[in-house]
């Protein structure tokens, strides 16, 4: 089969199209013919790890997973021994967080892993584009107490995590303010934002408005800058470690002090999450936001674009 592989860490140019053996599903596994995948920030972080922490997962000296790609949508092509949950021909989508393998024509996955039948009426490209952002967004949004009608500020509503967090929080009834560039204001309103701050014109940390939760989905602020816009027991989340890894450290310290605090939950995913994402898409509460679609052969170009940090939503790779 064709796959995009890399045998060394480095810039997008370490990626190359290669012919590799097609995997065979083992007991309890399915083989999926991948129709669409994405290049996301997890892929780029594992291809060129900047932190020792990431190297513990990506491989210390060379890549542990030569084929990247954590999101996929496709068709079950072969069912392994004792696998009963899916059948050949099922349209499926899901996540291979830290296991990867979706930048290829086929992948094998345990039938009880993060895989579910696709949302009705979604295209393969749309289904491939939702899981990573929603999983990371759920990691934060899933911890918010929505019974208290929280006011949430999302810094960077236009990234993959931001678009997902905005839609997820709105689906649970929160009042959501987002920041974005001028040209994305319309999109943010379409996705349900109650208020939009143009970050090119205004600093969201000095407006005087208070929030129960600040989620920095682009990791561009700090807790210390955002403290003043949090209510006294407010919580700050960031998708980045922050300067000198301050966010995980503050997540340990600030809860002991009893006031405003930092949360830094470790993302996890399971099959029930993918089923929930499917239900959210089918009910129209969440939709895929796709910036551009590239063919598999153009993955280096797609990766360069993702690394600009300027994509809106997701970059999809059409595999078949
Ligand atoms: N914690 C984790 O496990 C994890 C996993 C994956 C990614 N991440 C991190 O999460 C961050 C977001 O990733 P992503 O894939 O969702 O999005 P992304 O590709 O980083 O896109 C960021 C978006 O935010 C906008 N933006 C940039 N600077 C901004 C600012 N100062 N204020 C408001 N908007 C801004 C960009 O548009 P313009 O620049 O055009 O305005 C772009 O649309 C990245 O830093 C990534 O490394 C964390």
The CATH code of the domain that includes 229 is 3.40.50.720
Q: 30 CA to middle of ligand 1, Å?
A: 33
Mutate which of 157, 309, 312 for ligand 1? The one with the most ligand atoms within 8 Å of its CB, which is: 309
129-154 mean pLDDT:
95
CATH of the domain at 298: 3.90.180.10
**Residue 302 pLDDT exceeds 90:** yes
Residue 52 has a pLDDT of: 85
**Residue 149 pLDDT exceeds 90:** no
11 and 120 fall within a common domain:
yes
| 124: CB partners within 8 A, 6+ apart | 35, 36, 73, 74, 91, 93, 118
End of a domain among 227, 246, 263? 263
14 and 109 fall within a common domain:
yes
128 and 273 fall within a common domain:
yes
Neighbours of 272 (CB within 10 A): 10
Cα gap 201→136, rounded to integer Å: 28
Report how many domains make up the chain. Answer: 2
128-132 mean pLDDT:
98
Asked, for residue 154, whether it belongs to a domain, the answer is yes
Asked, for residue 229, whether it belongs to a domain, the answer is yes
| 193: CB partners within 8 A, 6+ apart | 157, 166, 170, 176, 177, 178
**Residue 51 pLDDT exceeds 90:** no
39 and 124 fall within a common domain:
yes
Query: For atom 40 of ligand 1, which residue has the closest CA?
Result: 310
Asked, for residue 138, whether it belongs to a domain, the answer is no
Tokens of 32: 């999926």
pLDDT in tens, 62-119: 999 999 999 999 999 999 999 999 999 999 999 999 999 999 999 999 999 999 999 9
Residue 148 has a pLDDT of: 84
| 260: CB partners within 8 A, 6+ apart | 223, 227, 230, 231, 232, 233, 234, 235, 236, 254
What is the DSSP code (8-state) at residue 10? Answer: S
Tell me, using a 6 A CB cutoff, whether residue 234 lines ligand 1: no
226-242 mean pLDDT:
96
150 and 233 fall within a common domain:
yes
276 and 254 fall within a common domain:
no
| 250: CB partners within 8 A, 6+ apart | 223, 242, 261, 262, 264
pLDDT in tens, 287-297: 999 999 999 99
pLDDT in tens, 198-228: 999 999 999 889 999 999 999 999 999 999 9
238 and 272 fall within a common domain:
no
Tell me, using a 6 A CB cutoff, whether residue 150 lines ligand 1: no
Query: For atom 42 of ligand 1, which residue has the closest CA?
Result: 310
Percent of the chain predicted with pLDDT > 70:
100
Asked, for residue 69, whether it belongs to a domain, the answer is yes
Mutate which of 161, 164, 204 for ligand 1? The one with the most ligand atoms within 8 Å of its CB, which is: 161
Asked, for residue 286, whether it belongs to a domain, the answer is yes
Tell me, using a 6 A CB cutoff, whether residue 42 lines ligand 1: yes
6 and 127 fall within a common domain:
yes
Instruction: Confirm if 25 and 110 have CB atoms less than 8 A apart.
Output: no
177-182 mean pLDDT:
98
**Residue 266 pLDDT exceeds 90:** yes
152-158 mean pLDDT:
98
Q: 178 CA to middle of ligand 1, Å?
A: 13
Please state the atom number of ligand 1 nearest to the C-alpha of residue 45: 47
CA neighbor of 166 nearest in space, from 138, 145, 186, 143: 138
pLDDT band at 8 (very low <50, low <70, confident <90, very high): very high
Asked, for residue 137, whether it belongs to a domain, the answer is no
pLDDT band at 53 (very low <50, low <70, confident <90, very high): confident
168-185 mean pLDDT:
97
Residue 278 has a pLDDT of: 98
Percent of the chain predicted with pLDDT > 90:
97
Tell me, using a 6 A CB cutoff, whether residue 41 lines ligand 1: yes
Asked, for residue 194, whether it belongs to a domain, the answer is yes
66 and 185 fall within a common domain:
no
165-189 mean pLDDT:
97
Mutate which of 136, 156, 179 for ligand 1? The one with the most ligand atoms within 8 Å of its CB, which is: 156
Residue 281 has a pLDDT of: 98
End of a domain among 238, 263, 288? 263
Cα gap 232→230, rounded to integer Å: 6
169 and 251 fall within a common domain:
yes
The domain of 272 spans 2-132+268-318
Please state the atom number of ligand 1 nearest to the C-alpha of residue 163: 16
Q: Judging by beta carbons within 10 Å of its beta carbon (0-12, 13-18, 19+), is residue 244 exposed, middle or buried?
A: exposed
Q: 156 CA to middle of ligand 1, Å?
A: 6
111 and 222 fall within a common domain:
no
Asked, for residue 66, whether it belongs to a domain, the answer is yes
- At 300, is the secondary structure helix, strand, or coil? helix
259 and 155 fall within a common domain:
yes
Tell me, using a 6 A CB cutoff, whether residue 49 lines ligand 1: no
Outline where DSSP puts E strands in 225-280. Answer: 230-238, 261-263
User: Is the whole model's pTM more than 0.95, yes or no?
Assistant: yes
């Amino acid at each position: 089969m064709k796959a995009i592989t890399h045998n060394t860490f480095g810039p997008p140019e370490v990626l190359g199209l290669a012919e590799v053996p097609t995997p065979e599903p083992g007991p309890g596994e399915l083989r999926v013919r991948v129709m669409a995948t994405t290049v996301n920030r997890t892929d780029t972080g594992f291809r060129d790890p900047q932190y020792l922490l990431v190297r513990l997962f990506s491989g210390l000296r060379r890549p542990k997973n030569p084929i990247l790609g954590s999101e996929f949508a496709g068709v079950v092509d072969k069912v392994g021994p004792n696998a009963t949950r899916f059948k050949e021909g099922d349209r499926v989508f899901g996540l291979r967080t830290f296991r990867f393998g979706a930048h290829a024509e086929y992948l094998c996955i345990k039938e009880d892993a993060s895989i579910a039948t696709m949302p009705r009426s979604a295209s393969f490209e749309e289904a491939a584009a939702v899981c990573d952002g929603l999983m990371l967004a759920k990691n934060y949004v899933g911890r918010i107490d929505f019974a208290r009608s929280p006011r949430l500020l999302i810094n960077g509503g236009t990234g993959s995590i931001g678009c997902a967090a905005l839609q997820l929080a709105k689906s649970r009834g929160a009042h959501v303010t987002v920041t974005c560039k001028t040209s994305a204001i319309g999109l943010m309103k379409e996705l349900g934002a109650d208020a939009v701050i143009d970050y090119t014109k205004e600093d969201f940390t000095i407006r005087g408005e208070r929030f129960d939760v600040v989620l920095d989905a682009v990791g561009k602020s700090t807790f210390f800058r955002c403290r003043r816009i949090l209510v006294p027991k407010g919580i700050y989340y960031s998708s980045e470690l922050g300067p000198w890894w301050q966010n995980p450290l503050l997540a340990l310290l600030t809860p002991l002090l009893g006031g405003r605090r930092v949360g830094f939950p470790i993302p996890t995913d399971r099959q029930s999450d993918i089923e929930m994402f499917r239900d959210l898409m089918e009910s129209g509460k969440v939709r895929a936001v796709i910036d551009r679609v590239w063919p598999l052969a153009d993955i280096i170009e797609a990766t360069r674009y993702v690394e600009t940090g300027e994509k809106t939503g997701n970059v999809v790779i059409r595999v078949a």
